[in-house]
Structure formats: structure tokens, C-alpha cells
Structure 1
Amino acid sequence: MTLIWGRTNSSNVMKLLWFCAEAGIPYERRDAGGTFGLVGDDAYKAMNPMSLVPVLQEADGWALWESNTILRYLAAVQAGTAAALYPAEPRRRAGIERWMDWQLAHLTPPMTTIFFTHVRIPEAERDWPATTAALEKATGLWRLLDRQLAGRQHVEGDFSLADIAIGIFVHRWFALPVERPELAHLRAWYDRLLARPHYSRIVAVPMS
């Protein structure tokens, strides 16, 4: 049985739970990180020296960390729906991986700043200049994705790992109390994700 370590309100854990639900992969989940602790324990650090969530642990004890790497691994070793989300054809796969890397390198930093400011940092401790700069950066990135989505149902045409990696953050973008431009293609994509039962159940939940 696949074991996923991590709390359900972590964006990176949500990716794995949503992927497994879409692909029909059975798993067991154990709370870790945040108020649940464990990530600083020696046993956990032996699985993930970064002391972060999630961690994928397989029945033989083999463990893997970094959420997008775990997504790629699971899609590569599974058949059916999972494999379809990560096609083997090199150019299609590269297109998907490009957007997964874009999420990590470009989208995550400003979205994390905005999220923490409005959800996890006490008001008296909030860094509003940093948040304003992050909002400007994130807005530009979402505009870029809006252009990518013109004429497409999903980020790379068909529903794929790119949608799972970025879809976590688009819920936060529309749920956070920030000023947003009207981005019709992005909003339509978000609405399509909301129509997916697993997304609504796992991702589109109150932020904490």
C-alpha cells in the first residue's frame, strides 16, 4: 500500500491526494508537518532530510520526497489514467514538465507569500510591502497562464500533471481576499477544475 505522509491543508500534499483520487490509486495517509510535528524526528528525516511534506513511502520502505517528483514517479509506474496524465511522447511530456517547473520556480514563491500573509501570519506581523510585491508578481504570472489557456481546455490541452501542479494554487488565487484582474480563460479553467469531484473535495476547501 502506498503511504503518503503529510497534512491535508498542505498544497503539496493536496497534489498527491488529488492525483491518486483521479488515477484511482489506493493509499494510506498519515498526518505530518505543521501542528502534527514528526518532520523533525530522526525517523522522518531519514525519509526526507528537508523535514517537509509530503513523503511517499512504499511497502518496502523506499521513500521519495518533492511533490512534483512524486507525481512524475507515480504516473510513470502506473497504467491507465495515471499514465495518461504524463504521456511518454517526449514533446508532450516536456510541455507538461515545463509547466510543473514553472509552478515550482515562479508561481510558488509569490503565491506562498500572499497565502501566508492572509491565512497563517498574525495581522500584526504581516509584511504588507512584501505582499504587495508578491501580488504584482503573481498577477503577471496568472496573466501569462491566462494567455496559455486561450483556446485550450487545460494547460497543455488534455488534463495532465500540469493541471494538478498548478491547480492547487488557482483555487487559492480565487479564494484569497486580493484584487484580481478579470482573466476569462483562467476563470473558465478554474470552473472546469471545480466541476471535477475530486478537486472540489480535496483542493477547493477552506484555507488553513
Structure 2
Amino acid sequence: MSETLTLWGRISSINVRKVMWTAQYLNLPIQRIDAGAAFGVINTPEFQQMNPNAMIPVLNDGDYTLWESNVIVRYLCEKYSNGALYPSDTKQRFDAERWMDWQQSELNRASALPFAQWVRTAPEQRNHVLIKEHTRKMHHWLGIVEAHLAKQPYMAGNSLTMADIPLLSEVHRWWAVRARSGETSPAYPAIERWYAPLLAHPASKGVFDLPVS
């Protein structure tokens, strides 16, 4: 078991939430320190010694410091899940790695602008052309996830792995954006089936039961 982990980052961050959910799912003792946005901290020399990018989250595990949210999720799953979330089979592990990279490179890139527009931008300043374009992209990517989860219970096979966690965080934020916009959305029954028990898991307390902001 780990000594207390320390995580820097505000809980409203999609990337901090995925790390917190992982730690709570694994019953790891973790202390979170607010940083980023209105909390500041990230531009201090002390923080930038930990992460020269001045971005959250940052994890300290004893004398080891790590940044990049999906890498932190991988690290926690490999070190602390006893193989449950970090596949030992090489092909399954790289299947999980692929979906985690895809979440960052495609899904998050598509969802970030509509989120910023609907949640953090005044109505009179919203760019509805860009919102429509990025929403279309998001539905395209979610269609890929829907087809994938229609064939198997989880992103990397028959059991929960690290691959599911970044996507959980992404879908949680997107569902909130969809509700905020009031616009109609395609049905995603396979995603809903996968998402509901993960959202209801005790690891979501203080993470995905909080509003998106």
C-alpha cells in the first residue's frame, strides 16, 4: 500500500477527475491540493520545478513526481491495482494504451471547444459555427465508441481496465455539455450501459457527482 499520495489540481478539471477516480477506485490514500485557474499555484517556481509545463495534474508518490493525466492513471493502475486495471497481456495492454491516447488526441480535442463555449462563455459571445463543427466531430467519435462497446463490455475487453477511466471522465463532461446546450443528441445505448455503473461506483463520490464548471 502506498503512503499518502499528493495530487495538485482543481477538482473541476477533467484531467484531475480521472486521476482522483482512479485513486479512489483503488482505495489509495490521496491528498489533493487545489491548483490551476482561480487557485493559481501553477505559475510559482515551486510548482514549475515539479512540472515545467505549469499544468495540472501533478502527482507526488513519495519522492517520485509525475505529470500528464493519462500517464498518471497508467502509473497508478500498474503500481497499485495488482494487475486488475493494467493488463498483463501485451496485446490487451496496448489496446488499452491505444484508447487512452485516442481519448487525448481525438475525443478531448473535439469536446473541449463546445465545453468552453456552453459552460464558460457568455451566451452573447458564443461562436455557434465552431460549436456546431466540434459537436459534429464529437458525435462522430462517440459513434466509434458506441460501436466498440456494443461488441464488448469495456474498452479493452471483458473487464474494467485503465482504458475506461479517461473515457469515463470525457463522457461525464460531454453529458453535462449536452444537457447545458439543450440540443438533441443521438442515442448511445451501449455507452449508457457502460457509463451508468461506473458513474454509480463509490469512486465517483466527490468527483463525478460534482457539477461540471
- Settle same-fold status: TM greater than 0.5: yes
Cα distance in 2 between the residues matched to 1:54 and 1:113: 20
**Secondary structure at the counterpart of residue 94 of structure 1:** helix
Root-mean-square deviation (Å):
1.4
* 1:66 maps to 2:107: no
Identity of aligned residues (%): 34
Aligned-pair distance for 1:50?
1.2
Q: 2:77 aligns to what?
A: 75
* 1:15 maps to 2:28: no
* Matched AA of 2:210: V
Q: 1:164 aligns to what?
A: 165
Aligned-pair distance for 1:147?
0.2
Q: 2:111 aligns to what?
A: 111
Q: Is the 8 A contact 2:5 2:60 kept in 1?
A: yes
* 1:134 maps to 2:137: no
Aligned-pair distance for 1:79?
4.4
Q: 1:34 aligns to what?
A: 37
Q: 1:46 aligns to what?
A: 49
Aligned-pair distance for 1:200?
5.2
Q: Is the 8 A contact 2:42 2:55 kept in 1?
A: yes
CA, structure 1 residues 200+152, in 2 after alignment: closer, same or farther (shift >3 Å)? farther
CA, structure 1 residues 107+79, in 2 after alignment: closer, same or farther (shift >3 Å)? closer
- Offset from partner CA, 1:72-113 (integer Å, 9 cap, x none): 112222243xx3111121111011011000100000011111
Q: 2:8 aligns to what?
A: 5
**Secondary structure at the counterpart of residue 163 of structure 2:** helix
Aligned-pair distance for 1:10?
0.5
Q: Is the 8 A contact 1:171 1:204 kept in 2?
A: no
* Matched AA of 1:168: S
Q: Is the 8 A contact 2:22 2:76 kept in 1?
A: no
* Matched AA of 2:89: E
Unaligned stretches of 5+ residues in structure 2: none
Relative to the length of structure 1, the TM-score reads: 0.93
Unaligned stretches of 5+ residues in structure 1: none
Q: Say which is worse superposed, 167-176 or 196-205, in terms of deviation.
A: 196-205
